[in-house]
C-alpha cells in the first residue's frame, strides 16, 4: 500500500518536468554550437534517443549528419563508434569476430574481438550503401539490444542508440533497406538543405581556425533517469485512440482509410509505428514542460514515426507520390475525437 509520503507530490513532478525540460534545452543549445540551423532535426534526434529508439537520417552528403552524431556523443559523454557502410562491408566488421590468439604458455585459444557495435552511440553512416546481408546484421542489435555470435549472446550497454544515415535512393550505389529493418527505426528524419543565411554561417565556422568547444551536459546516469521518467508520463485514452486511428488509416484495407491510402499504399505501418508515436509524444510533452500528452504531440510525432513504415504500391511509385503526401492527407482526414 502506498502512503501519501511515498506517493510523488504534484510539486515533485513539476520539478522533475522542469529539470527534464532544462536538460533538453541545454543539450539542444550545446549541439547548436556545432550544428547550424537544423533545430527540428536536433530535436527529433534527442526525442528519439530519450524514447529509447533509433533514428534514420536521410539527406544528400555534406549536410552535417555525421557531425550531429559526434556532437551528441560529446554532449552526453558516451562511448561513440562510427561504421562506414560500403558494398564490401561484412557482418563481422560490425559485430566482431572470433580470433585464434597465442597465450603466455605457448598454447592457442579463441578470443572474441568486439566490433564497433559495442558502444553507446553508433553511427551507421550511409547504411544503404551496404548489401542487404550486412544491413541485416544490425537487426538484432537494434531491436534486442544484444549480439549473438555462435552460441553466445552478449548484451549491449545501456543506453544503446543507433543513428543511421542514408543517401536518397535515387543516388547510384544504394540498396533499399528491407522493411523489417526500417521498422526498427523509431523515427526517420529528412535533413533539408541549408538556407542561404545558414550556408554563410557554415562557411564562416568551417573556414576559420577556431572550432567551437562542446561541453558534456548530462552523464549516462542522468540520461537513463530521463528515459525512465518519460515512460511515466500519463496518456489519456482518447489521445491513444487518436494515434491508433491514425495507424489504421495507413492500411489500404481498412474501411476508415482515406482514398489516397487505398489507391497508393501497398502496406501500412506496423504497430511499432503507434508505439513510436506514443513514446515520442511523451518526450515531446516533457520537452514542452508538460506532464501530459496532447493530440498536438501525436500529430507532431506521426510524420517521422510513419513515413518509413508506409510502403507505396506500384501506382504510387509510378506517379511520384511520397509517403509524406499520404500522411498529410491522413492527418487532415482523421478527426482527433472519434464519433
Q: Is 94 helix (H, G, I), strand (E, B) or coil?
A: helix
Question: What are the backbone dihedrals phi and psi of residue 296, each rounded to the nearest 5 degrees, phi first?
Answer: -65, -35
Placement of cell 510524420 in the chain: 303
Same domain? 71 vs 206:
yes
Residue that terminates a domain, selected from 176, 197, 230: 230
Strand order in the sheet with 161-166: 80-84, 121-125, 161-166, 55-58, 187-190
Report, as an integer, the average pLDDT of 98-122.
81
CATH number at residue 289: 1.10.8.80
Residue that terminates a domain, selected from 230, 255, 271: 230
pLDDT exceeds 80 at position 163: yes
Same domain? 172 vs 215:
yes
pLDDT grade, residue 158 (50/70/90)? confident
Cα(250)–Cα(134) distance, rounded to whole angstroms? 30
Report, as an integer, the average pLDDT of 219-229.
93
CATH number at residue 134: 3.40.50.300
What's this model's pTM, rounded to 2 decimal places?
Answer: 0.88
Write out the three cell numbers for 117.
557495435
- pLDDT given at position 8: 54
- pLDDT given at position 299: 96
- pLDDT given at position 339: 64
- pLDDT given at position 273: 95
How confident is the model over 258-300, as pLDDT tens digits?
Answer: 999 999 999 999 999 999 999 999 999 999 999 999 999 999 9
Same domain? 33 vs 91:
yes
Please choose, from the candidates 77, 18, 61, 68, the residue with its C-alpha nearest in 3D space to the C-alpha of residue 39.
68
Burial of 47 (0-12, 13-18, 19+ CB in 10 A): buried
Same domain? 215 vs 187:
yes
Same domain? 223 vs 244:
no
For 290, the domain range is 233-339
Residue that terminates a domain, selected from 230, 254, 282: 230
Same domain? 324 vs 302:
yes
Same domain? 201 vs 52:
yes
> Left, alpha or beta for 101 (phi > 0: left; psi -120 to 50: alpha)?
beta
Same domain? 201 vs 260:
no
Same domain? 151 vs 262:
no
pLDDT exceeds 70 at position 2: no
Same domain? 116 vs 184:
yes
**Which of the listed ranges 32-41, 125-134, 312-321 does the model predict with the highest average pLDDT?**
312-321
Greater confidence (318 vs 199) lies with 318
Same domain? 290 vs 314:
yes
Report, as an integer, the average pLDDT of 100-126.
82
Round the average pLDDT of the chain to a whole number and report it.
Answer: 87
Report, as an integer, the average pLDDT of 67-95.
87
pLDDT grade, residue 6 (50/70/90)? very low
Cα(249)–Cα(195) distance, rounded to whole angstroms? 34
pLDDT grade, residue 1 (50/70/90)? very low
Asked if residues 185 and 55 have their Cβ atoms less than 8 Å apart, the reply is: yes
Same domain? 34 vs 176:
yes
What total of structural domains would you count in the chain? 2
Amino acid at each position: 500500500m502506498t502512503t501519501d509520503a511515498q506517493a510523488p507530490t504534484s510539486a515533485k513532478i513539476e520539478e522533475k518536468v522542469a529539470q527534464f525540460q532544462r536538460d533538453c534545452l541545454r543539450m539542444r543549445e550545446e549541439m547548436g554550437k556545432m550544428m547550424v540551423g537544423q533545430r527540428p532535426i536536433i530535436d527529433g534526434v534527442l526525442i528519439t534517443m530519450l524514447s529509447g529508439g533509433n533514428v534514420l537520417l536521410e539527406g544528400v552528403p555534406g549536410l552535417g549528419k555525421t557531425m550531429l552524431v559526434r556532437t551528441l556523443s560529446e554532449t552526453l559523454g558516451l562511448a561513440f563508434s562510427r561504421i562506414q557502410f560500403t558494398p564490401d562491408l561484412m557482418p563481422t566488421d560490425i559485430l566482431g569476430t572470433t580470433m585464434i590468439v597465442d597465450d603466455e604458455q605457448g598454447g592457442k585459444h579463441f578470443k572474441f574481438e568486439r566490433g564497433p557495435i559495442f558502444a553507446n552511440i553508433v553511427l551507421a553512416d550511409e547504411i544503404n550503401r551496404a548489401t542487404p546481408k550486412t544491413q541485416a546484421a544490425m537487426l538484432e542489435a537494434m531491436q534486442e539490444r544484444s549480439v549473438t555470435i555462435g552460441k553466445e549472446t552478449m548484451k549491449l550497454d545501456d543506453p544503446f542508440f543507433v543513428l543511421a544515415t542514408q543517401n536518397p535512393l535515387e543516388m547510384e550505389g544504394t540498396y533499399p533497406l528491407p522493411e523489417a529493418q526500417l521498422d526498427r527505426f523509431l523515427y526517420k528524419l529528412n535533413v533539408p538543405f541549408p538556407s542561404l543565411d545558414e550556408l554563410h554561417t557554415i562557411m564562416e565556422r568551417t573556414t576559420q581556425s577556431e572550432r567551437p568547444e562542446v561541453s558534456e551536459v548530462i552523464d549516462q546516469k542522468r540520461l537513463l533517469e530521463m528515459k525512465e521518467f518519460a515512460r511515466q508520463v500519463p496518456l489519456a485514452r482518447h489521445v491513444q485512440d487518436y494515434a491508433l486511428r491514425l495507424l489504421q488509416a495507413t492500411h489500404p484495407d481498412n474501411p476508415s482509410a482515406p482514398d489516397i491510402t487505398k489507391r497508393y499504399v501497398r502496406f501500412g505501418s506496423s504497430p511499432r509505428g503507434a508505439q513510436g508515436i506514443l513514446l515520442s509524444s511523451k518526450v515531446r510533452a516533457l520537452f514542452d514542460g508538460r506532464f501530459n500528452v496532447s493530440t498536438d504531440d501525436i500529430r507532431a510525432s506521426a510524420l517521422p514515426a510513419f513515413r518509413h513504415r508506409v510502403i507505396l504500391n506500384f501506382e504510387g511509385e509510378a506517379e511520384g507520390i511520397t509517403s509524406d503526401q499520404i500522411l498529410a492527407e491522413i492527418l487532415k482526414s482523421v478527426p482527433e475525437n472519434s464519433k
